[in-house]
Structure 1
């Protein structure tokens, strides 16, 4: 067994293994908003769906469907109906998959370079896609031309939506904030509080700010209101000794509003930004974690363990590297925030 992330076991946290995982590295994970259906996109050009069945403290998975792109798939997202999946990737195409009806794939639209992110925005009934062609495009599913194309300062690496807030992280450490009530205008552009390349962003559940993670094992907590700027801070994570690993994924818990980081060190950690505490550090897998997701009620946390390309194609051996998707059942102590210390101030 190739241990790309170092010594150790593939599944030190005794998580439940998803059956029939992708045959190449996993690029995104997302749960249906309506039920325990998990979708993964992969470098093997496929988008797969499983039904996740939770029975007490046991979890099983049943493969439900698979569809293909012509090239590696980089992103996936559900429509709020829980019946439709969107995906995009290196074929520059945004696709729609009517999963519930077993319908045929539909090309929603196209970019001029790979599609890195997709997100459905139910409040405005539009799909947004972000690409390495330095644009965001908004799609009305009834037409194949974008209803709006938004120029970005550089390639889109990551985006997060919590209506009306959308934050886009691009190359060169740009963070562009949009108010989706007026999506054709940038609300604010800031330079990342982190010194190195942005990997992931996550909007606060209350839309008052966002988290940003970088390749340098650090997370920034940023509030949009200048009056709240004293609450902004950065912290180190996903480091061991002198080894520094990328923060690849940030997810807020849908109920407790704590969050989890996952990194190229193969670990995932639960945090409470309000009390500035780490709630739980999980054991390291022997491969990086490139992506992760909570289900709609936060009772299941899915994470991938596979090669994440940070050492380039020459260090990837598809014959020996196995790709895993694991399901972890978060305990309350891991995800429930701790009361803030009383500082005596009102």
Structure 2
């Protein structure tokens, strides 16, 4: 076992050599899964020893196309994954199946597969502009939502039937119990292009952009302790006059703080209400950066899993200026999500744009 970075962080060495595109932790906290650009989908078991966590590989499958996203079902028995070829697969892990079952086909690449726990529906989103809702007990589409352009990201409410979908320039919010019309519409500014989103359990929607801006929109303006309106913005991932993309957002449900990952390799937990850093899990690098390619907290916030690797932010590796060195190695870490005092950064204010 390799507890690099201190006893609270464990590096899983049995990983794909290609970039990991998605991570998700099962609701029972016993497993997590990864998807990657070589078409690998992997399942790992989680071991706990006091405050320390580790993991071990359990099984893997291939889906014959780059795997772009993955998630668990509510029972922690099945893994869903989406591919660059537009297919959505179900992998029955509980029965030790080695063959994925195709359950859906979009016309273009899958952007996201995720579970809306409150409604118990699988939500799939694609570059074809469609967001589809599936009853996980019967793999047939029960609703189709158009995003008015190629979908860039989506997110589900925590224990709520909220659903947000974005085409980068526009964001639409729905209630999946009645998704025929959005209940809220957000027109993004000209300089913003939304690539990541996450809901907190009860307070806000967080959006990350291509230019490294994070925007927080409160459901109730009274929850904004600074009393400066329903939204605020701040910048992450900027160093040496280079602006890095927001490459991951995950909410810590118990505190309703959220984690941001950026393509310079920085991974930071924020107190959104007091607008300060809570923890810095990865400081990032200004030279030879290895970006955060995926990150996820467990539902109860006790476990954090994240991956690092080149996520094609600067284009194909062969086209990158050789003076700008990139670390192409893939890394996968599991971290005690409650160890908020590791590399403590309390009191560091947000960098307003």
- Please name the residue that 1:283 is paired with: 283
Q: CA deviation at 1:329?
A: 2.5
Coordinate RMSD, CA, aligned: 2.6
Runs of 4+ in 1 over 6 A off after TM superposition: 11-14, 226-229, 334-339
Query: In structure 2, how many angstroms separate the alpha carbons of the residues matched to 1:253 and 1:123?
Result: 18
Contact 1:197/1:215 (<8 A) preserved? yes
5+ long unaligned stretches in structure 1: 1-10, 340-346
Aligned runs of 1:98-109 on 2, under 5 Å? 98-103=92-97, 104-109=99-104
1:203 paired residue among 190, 194, 199? 199
Deviation string 1:267-304 (CA, Å, 9 cap, x unpaired) is 10110111111223342264000110112332321111
TM-score relative to the length of structure 2: 0.84
TM-score (norm 1): 0.86
Gaps of 5+ in 2: 321-326, 348-353
Name the counterpart of 2:264: 265
Match of 2:144 in 1: 149
- Cα–Cα, structure 1 residues 123 and 81, in superposed 2: closer, same or farther, change >3 Å? same
Select which of 311, 323, 326 maps to 2:333.
326
**Counterparts of 1:178 and 1:275, CA distance in 2:** 28
- Once the two structures are superposed, the pairs formed by residues 208-227 of structure 1 within 5 Å of their partners are 208-225=203-220
In structure 2, distance between residues paired with 1:338 and 1:61: 29
**Of the candidates 181, 184, 188, which is equivalent to residue 185 of structure 1?**
181
Q: List aligned pairs for 1:97-136, cutoff 5 A.
A: 97-103=91-97, 104-136=99-131
57-66 vs 18-27, which deviates more?
57-66
Deviates more, 1:325-334 or 1:306-315: 325-334
- Match of 1:298? 301
Q: Which whole-Å CA distance do the structure 2 matches of 1:269 and 1:169 have between them? A: 24
Structure 1 residues 193 and 274, CA gap change in structure 2 (3 angstroms): farther
Match for residue 343 of structure 1? none
Secondary structure of 1:216's aligned partner: coil
1:152/1:13 CA distance change after superposition, 3 Å: farther
